[in-house]
Amino acid sequence: MPAFFEYLRNITYYLMFATVAGILAPAGKYRKFISLVLGFVLLVLMLRPLAGIGNEISVTEWFTGIIPNNEAQQNWETSYAHWRDTYLREVFEAQLEAQLTTLLENDGFTVHSADFDYSDDFSRITEVRVSVSREEQPQRVPFIRIQPVQIGQYQKPEENPTATAAKNLISQFYNLPTEHIHVNVR
């Protein structure tokens, strides 16, 4: 008997909800559609006890084509998360490349390629690899300068001044140590 009273209580609550929804529904062609949908839901509520007579059928089995199962939902969520992350990475890298290109072109460099390493949450750039070229202006040399050679000491080869200038510019802009910036001069 308690199941029967619960059944009546559910239908009563639903009818009160449907009445309020009918009152709040906008006048016009949508009111008929809303009352049709509410009528179908009432019909399902009333026929629900009959579904359990022959065998136990759950409501979700009635709508198997409409309600996605958990596995399909998880696959969809995984696919969406993968698409979202890929899209965000592409947009972030494109913005970084455009920003770096503008920064270096304003100083006379031509950027051929740029590659970035960054944190997963896009909050920090960890490494920059860029290939640049720069047309050097011919320098006037008023005299010939001869650099002294020190014998017996290892001399660290000097880095290309174009690469050094690009590294310093990128280091200042992105607040990165120059060891994390790799510049290839063409």
* Highest-pLDDT range among 26-40, 41-55, 100-114: 100-114
pLDDT computed for residue 92 by the predictor: 87
Compute how many other C-beta atoms are within 10 angstroms of the C-beta atom of residue 183. Answer: 22
The answer to whether 42 touches 55, Cβ cutoff 8 Å, is no
| 36 vs 47: CA distance, rounded Å | 17
- Under the banding of pLDDT at 50, 70 and 90, the label for residue 53 is low
- Every domain of the chain with CATH number 3.30.70 lies at 88-137+156-185
Residue 158: pLDDT above 70? no
* CATH level 3 topology of 88-137+156-185: Alpha-Beta Plaits (3.30.70)
Torsion of CA 77, 82, 88, 92, to 10 degrees: 160
| Mean pLDDT across 85-109 | 87
8-state DSSP, 108: T
- Mean pLDDT across the chain, nearest whole number? 77
Beta bridge partners of 113: 131
The CA distances from residue 167 to 2, 19, 185, in Å, are 79, 71, 11
pLDDT computed for residue 61 by the predictor: 52
